[in-house]
Amino acid sequence: MENLRNTVRRLTEEEKKQAIAAAKREKAKGSRSQGTSNIPVEVEYKGKIYVGTGKEVFRILKKDSGVKSSTLTALVKKIGAKWLFNPLAEEGEISNIRTETEKHLKETKIQSDSEGVYKLLEKKKQIILYGPPGTGKTYSTKEIALELFTEEEEEYEELRDKGRIEFITFHPSYSYEEFIEGITVETEREGVATESVKYKLRPGIFKEMCKKALGSLINLPDEEIEEKTWREVFDAYIEKEVVDFEDAPPYVLIIDEINRGDMAKIFGELITLLEADKRLGEDNELIATLPTSGDRFGVPPNLYIIGTMNTADRSIALLDVALRRRFGFIAMEPDLEMLRSHIENTTDIEENTKSLLTHSIKAIEKINQKICHDRAIGRDKQIGHSYLLKVKNTEDLAMVWRHEILPLLEEYCYGDYQKINQILFNSDSDTEWISQCEGIKDITANNIRDMLNEIISDGE
């Protein structure tokens, strides 16, 4: 593949037509599409022309430039390269490899400080993105995870299918037994009665991820890692005289809504083992004995944890101090500037709707200001930008306000409609939109502009 750097063969017109047709099919698939990964592109960088599939060009450009990036389009922009042919280009403008919504999501504040984020993740080995609802926390976890795979050409779905990235969500019933290991009942397949009860020890997702990360660290084939138990992989690690910790392939566990579970209970005694300097192979390496299986256990240095925390559910200040010390925390705030850019650059939003979206941004800015200064609500419960990202027409916008944004305020104010009217319209009495008896009234495409104007003008 090295000849990609100095290739002289350019794509023919017929090959370009086929590539454009393939790109359109991929784009129509939406956010799970692989984009131009397997479609030909042409890029010029420092006088060299790169021709190949998006995946191939992406891999070689990353190596040549030495710059981290999660997509080819973002990389081209970062290093000042020039597109010679991009099948997703429309009317001379370069589109992102992914959908237009994702294009503008990449411009969030967390991306602008990407180097700081990755340095923190490398230092702590686990981070938590925290912020109000709708600030792009879950989306950003995937982007951060992809940045760790600097020598990989796969997309998120490919890495997930290979077991390199796992995604779980904590909830109040989530337990140590599900996360680390526990004894469970073995049953027949769904719908078939179990004649006799059998119990077995089942490893949790964290222990399985540690097994994969440690197995790859000592260069075991994927098939062999899958067949072996944690104990067998750990024994192989102990027996190995030389282990290359520097070039260990990364594994990532994404934990969404991490604060909804009892973190101290779920992590148990292993919370100490998470610390970077207490991982396997580090100066202060710690190895614990698991109480159920009796296995000796340590956390590999190539396993990273990225969590998200919705501050509307629970403040960061309420977290266990021991847990807080072992995680790095990154604030995710509403990014209305990114939303303005999204509206300006997205072509499939109706013109009339763009005007209403601009009004909506002004309205949310005003609402968030009042929320921040209200001691009973506070900045942890601001309204995020992502509520408006998928709006394409006026009906969509009215639905978002009626069924998402206003019910969120209703929850924050515990059904105090007088307070909601005070926040929205600076009114202590019922309004055309909200009343004590009827709650939130109908908001439609016909009256959404009037409501937004009243919010912006404080009901004057």
Q: Are 247 and 352 contained in the same domain?
A: no
Residue with tokens 């526990």: 182
- In this predicted structure, what is the pLDDT of residue 173? 93
> Is 103 inside any structural domain?
no
202-227 exposure pattern, b = at least 16 Cβ within 10 A, e = fewer: bbbebbbbbbbbbbbbbebeeeebee
Domain ends where: 75, 98, 121?
Answer: 98
Query: Is the distance from CB of 433 to CB of 424 less than 8 angstroms?
Result: yes
- Looking at the structure, tell me whether residues 245 and 196 fall in a common domain: yes
What is the model's pTM? Answer: 0.76
Question: Do 204 and 344 have their domain in common?
Answer: no
Count the neighbouring beta carbons within 10 Å of the beta carbon of residue 125: 24
CATH number at residue 327: 3.40.50.300
Domain ends where: 64, 98, 132?
A: 98
Range of the domain at 89: 2-98
Q: Is 105 domain-assigned?
A: no
Q: Is residue 104 part of a domain?
A: no
Domains contained in the chain, number: 3
Is 9 within a domain? yes
Q: How far apart are CA 40 and CA 37, in angstroms?
A: 8
What residue has token string 């899958």?
A: 226
Beta strands in 106-260 (DSSP E): 126-131, 165-169, 181-186, 198-203, 251-256
pLDDT given for residue 425 in this prediction: 94
Residue at which a domain ends, from 312, 331, 350: 331
- Confirm whether 212 is domain-assigned: yes
Any domain includes 427: yes
* Shared-domain flag, residues 17 and 144: no
**CA-to-CA distance for 221 and 249, rounded, in angstroms?**
13
pLDDT of residue 55: 80
- Residue 296: CA atoms inside 13 Å, Cβ hemisphere, count? 11
Domain identity same for 165 and 251: yes
Q: Is the same domain home to 129 and 181? A: yes
Tell me: do 147 and 269 sit in the same domain.
yes
From first to last of the 460 residues of the chain, give the pLDDT tens digit: 444 544 457 888 888 888 888 877 765 554 333 455 678 888 989 888 999 888 888 888 888 888 766 567 767 877 888 888 888 763 333 333 333 334 434 444 555 466 688 889 989 999 999 999 999 999 899 888 888 875 444 677 888 888 999 999 999 999 999 999 998 887 767 767 777 778 889 999 999 999 999 999 999 999 999 999 999 999 999 998 888 887 788 999 999 999 899 888 999 888 899 999 999 999 899 999 999 999 999 999 999 999 999 988 866 656 777 778 889 999 999 999 989 988 888 888 888 999 999 999 999 999 999 999 999 999 999 999 999 999 999 999 999 999 999 999 999 999 999 999 999 999 999 999 999 999 999 999 999 999 999 999 975 5
Structure tokens at 36: 């131009």
